[in-house]
Amino acid sequence: MNILRLLKRGKTAKAAKDRLQIIIAQERSQQSQQTDYLPLMRQEILKVIAKYTGVKLQDVKVDLQSNRSNSVLELNITLPENLKAKTPAEEKATETEEEVEAETA
């Protein structure tokens, strides 16, 4: 009975460690100085994109993921409906996404 209960409970410490590894890495990258320039950069990128397409602020998602050797800057831009309508192939899609990945040291 006791052994059954023990087995049922399982090794939850492993789950705790895995979850913490992810959340801590995420929060550290959010806290780091690198994020200081993100809001401003987002604004400036938006200005350029808006100039040509008319994308709204909430349609641009900026993510920065860092590990020891490199950082990945991910820009996720949802282009507006009226742009899609121009090409028949894209008409069925609900949204078009464009990913720009840049590697920084």
Partner 1 sequence: MSEVIVVTSGKGGVGKTTTSASFATGLAQRGFKTAVIDFDIGLRNLDLVMGCERRVVYDLVNVIQGEATLKQALIKDRNNENLYILAASQTRDKEVLTTEGVEKVINDLKGLGFDYIICDSPAGIEKGAHMAMYFADSALIVTNPEVSSVRDSDRILGLLGSKTYRAENDLPSIKEHLIITRYSAKRVNTGEMLSVADIKELLGVSLLGIIPECQSVLSASNAGSPVIRDDGSLAGKAYSRIISRFLGEEVPDDSAKKGFFRRLFASNKEKELA
Cβ proximity to partner 1: between 9 and 86 the closer is 9
Cβ proximity to partner 1: between 23 and 93 the closer is 23
Smallest distance from partner 1 to CB 70, Å: 19
Cβ proximity to partner 1: between 3 and 105 the closer is 3
How far is residue 99's CA from residue 85's CA, in Å, rounded to a whole number?
20
Smallest distance from partner 1 to CB 63, Å: 19
Concatenated DSSP letters of 31-55:
HSGGGGGHHHHHHHHHHHHHHHT--
